[in-house]
Amino acid sequence: MPANLFDSFPLRPARVHEVCGPGASSFAAILAAQGSGPVLWVRPAWSAEMLTPQGLSRFFDPARLLIAEAPSPTDALAVTEEALRDGAVPLVVTEITKPLDLRQGRRLQLAAKTGDSTGLCLIPEGMGSNAAETRWRAAPRLASAEEADSTALRWEIIKNKSGTLGTWDVLWTDTAHRLHVVSPVAERPGSARASG
Amino acid sequence: MWFPRLPSDRVLRARPVEAPFALVQTQANAERLFCLNPRAEAEGLHGGMALADARVYCPALLTAPAEPGRDGRFLAALRRWATRYCPWVGIDGADGLVLDVTGATHLHGGEAMMLADMRARAARAGLALRLGLADSRGGAWALARFGEGVAPAGDPLAALGPLPVAALRLEPAVVTALQRLGLRTIGDLAASPRPPLTRRFGPALLARLDQALGALPEPVTPAAEPPHYGIRLSLPEPIGLTEDVMAGTERLLERLCAQLLAREAGARVLELSLRRVDGGQSRVELRLASPMREAGRILPLFRRGVETAEAGFGIDQLRLEAVVVEDLPVQQLGGPVTAHGAPAHGPALDDLVTRIGSRIGLENIRRLLPADSHIPERAFLVAPAAFSPPATGGWPAPRPRPLRLFPPEPIAAHGPRPPRRFRWRALQLATARATGPERIAPEWWLPDDAWRHGTRDYWQIETDAGRRLWLFHTPQAPGWFVHGEFP
């Protein structure tokens, strides 16, 4: 029986999750659209990429967004931990540039538990931490002709500490601000390998 | 009170010299003497003289540059000092103070005793001081500058009569004209008929005369005392533990916050100076995300700074000052509410921003604000969150805009149509669907290096691998670039 996406999404609160792949930013934005509080997005200060409010406004109101530009990876983690522990921000998104070790990942988990807030790390492929509650791979997919005015994505859950793995083709409709599951995708060989 | 040599006295107080000394100011491209000490005047020099001439007369002359700004601050300090004589003290010109001592003289043993006390204290401080006391402000001004003295109460003309007309605070041209008429002293002027004088010189002359003689009132405007938010705590025994310092800080904060509340102000930047026993000092600066005056909220924010401060052999004085203060009117509980009904930004969020800001810098916490431009990079502003309210309007995007923008990355492609296949970031991509072009012309009124290739034709490219990119072609200097990525 195929897994249900909505068992795992929106992400379990008071935990830190990870997402990798080219669709990680939109995954974070869709997650932010599920809540209504402020969102803290921790970014490396040296990155030349910019998030555009026009792009974000498809998903949620960019006025909810606070961007913290951290001068070093350590500062980024410190800011993330501080914000998670404080709990004033229900969702903290962090762009990770250096692999986390188990201790760092565990610290973030404990901070999220204390503050009852959700953490989401945008990680480069293969830089996951063992402490993560779930790990997702998000990628845009080629939209079919009838999906053309929506955002077509493929989400894959590749690690889940308390649930099943699965792959879904999802569709974000800009006008309705809703996420639809188009079809669960058949389990691919090898996707179970990453569980842990 | 007139300080005839205020600028040079100020400099000489800090660094006394036993020689002719003058301050030099550059006026109209020439260096001229500005203020001299008595030794220099005894050598025959005078203010306004060119420095080169002065050096010829007196080769031993020592000089220093004049600093009118510091003189003004020095005078303001003297004004505060003068409030020891009476509460009503104003600043008069660049080098004078005016005191309304009515009802205050008996506290110093009468007028004569008070003047003697002023002289003694000024002499001890190394300041030249000339005093004038009269029933009116104008009379005191004239007496201080032209022959010191006390005008007897009720009969100002007795003391003011022999003074020259220049003592009436008149324009130099008027003084010259009066002297030509033979009216050399205030007594002459007061004795002459008034209508012809008014006809010739206008009402200002007689108004000045009446002010000096006390017939016209002239109030003394005391300078407003700026509120000062600094509190000190001296300890009999040095302390070194973080908890102890925090406890001391808490006491200071409570008093400071009470002051802030009384004035409906909030602190934006706080500075805690910890003086060590060995004379050293460590400073803890706290920049807040919003003006605040709740001691209970501010105190935990100090912890991180206090923990890193160096205690050395112990700290024996704590000083807390609100360096930057903003108005913070009393607010209804609950805070501002947005259209959605949720608090716009709660106090907890401000505290978090302050704490994060103390680590990475308050200006590194940003928020996005809309901007009026059709250029994709300029269609929004990135502003420090602590100093700008969140955007309330919409985010106009006439055409779809990417989620991420990056500096344009060139790809190998030719021609005005999007390439079928291209390589980007080590990926081999094939175009499945292309939407465009959307032509965006540079804002010619703003020079921008990134737009030196001129007009851009933007295409939304959907690759068959799924990724959606924002490419542009520059027809004026043929080339293709990747500029952003859609979700």
- Delimit the domains of chain B by residue range: 6-70, 73-213, 230-327, 404-485
Within a domain: A25: yes
Distance CA A193, CA B359 (A): 40
Boundaries of domain holding A104? 5-47+55-137
Within a domain: A164: no
B340: which chain A residues are within 8 Å (Cβ-Cβ)?
36
> What is the β-pairing status of strands A65-70 and B365-370?
antiparallel
* pLDDT for the residue numbered A186: 61
- C-alpha triplet A145, A149, A151: angle, nearest 5°: 95
* pLDDT for the residue numbered A194: 39
Residue A115: name the closest of A143, A135, A142, A88 by CA: A88
CB burial of B262-282 (b: ≥16 within 10 Å; e: otherwise) equals eeebbbbbbbbbbbbeeeeeb
In this predicted structure, the answer to whether residue A189 has a pLDDT above a threshold of 60 is no
B362: which chain A residues are within 8 Å (Cβ-Cβ)?
none
In this complex, do A53 and B395 lie within 8 Å of one another by their Cβ atoms?
yes
B419 touches B413 (CB < 8 A): yes
Check residue B425 and give left, alpha or beta (phi > 0: left; psi -120 to 50: alpha): left
Q: Number of A:B CB contacts under 8 A?
A: 147
Q: For residue B22, which phi and psi values (nearest 5 degrees)?
A: -150, 150
Ordered DSSP codes for B29-63: TEEEEEEE-HHHHHTT--TT-BHHHHHHH-TT-EE
In a 10 Å sphere around its CB, with 0-12 CB exposed, 13-18 middle and 19+ buried, how is residue B392 labelled? Answer: exposed
Within a domain: A128: yes
Which residue's structure tokens are 């003309």?
B157
* pLDDT for the residue numbered A118: 93
The ipTM (two decimal places) reads: 0.86
* pLDDT for the residue numbered A17: 94
Domain count, chain A: 1
Within a domain: A81: yes
Neighbours of B353 (CB within 10 A): 26
Q: For residue A69, which phi and psi values (nearest 5 degrees)?
A: -100, 110
At the fourth CATH level, which superfamily is domain B230-327?
DNA polymerase, Y-family, little finger domain (3.30.1490.100)
In this predicted structure, the answer to whether residue A76 has a pLDDT above a threshold of 60 is yes
In this complex, do B348 and A57 lie within 8 Å of one another by their Cβ atoms?
no
Which CATH number describes the domain made up of B6-70? 3.40.1170.60
Distance CA B187, CA B165 (A): 9
Distance CA B296, CA B176 (A): 68
In this predicted structure, the answer to whether residue A193 has a pLDDT above a threshold of 60 is no
Within a domain: A31: yes
Within a domain: A33: yes
* pLDDT for the residue numbered A163: 84
- Statement: B73-213 belongs to CATH 1.20.120.790: no
Asked if the domains at B6-70 and B230-327 fall in one CATH topology, the answer is no
In this complex, do A26 and B403 lie within 8 Å of one another by their Cβ atoms?
yes
A69: which chain B residues are within 8 Å (Cβ-Cβ)?
360, 364-366
Within a domain: A100: yes
Query: The domain that contains A78 carries what CATH number?
Result: 3.40.50.300
B379: which chain A residues are within 8 Å (Cβ-Cβ)?
52, 54
What is the mean pLDDT, run by run of 10 residues, along chain B of 487 residues?
Answer: 80 77 79 79 78 80 81 85 83 82 81 86 84 82 79 74 80 84 81 83 82 78 74 88 89 89 87 88 85 84 84 87 84 50 62 86 87 83 82 77 89 88 89 87 79 84 89 88 89
* pLDDT for the residue numbered A25: 92
| Window A:55-114, CB contacts with B under 8 Å | 55-59, 62-71, 75, 78-79, 82-83, 86-89
Alpha-carbon distance A51 to nearest alpha carbon in chain B (angstroms): 5
* pLDDT for the residue numbered B343: 43
pLDDT band at A81 (very low <50, low <70, confident <90, very high): very high
Whether pTM > 0.80 for this model: the answer is: no
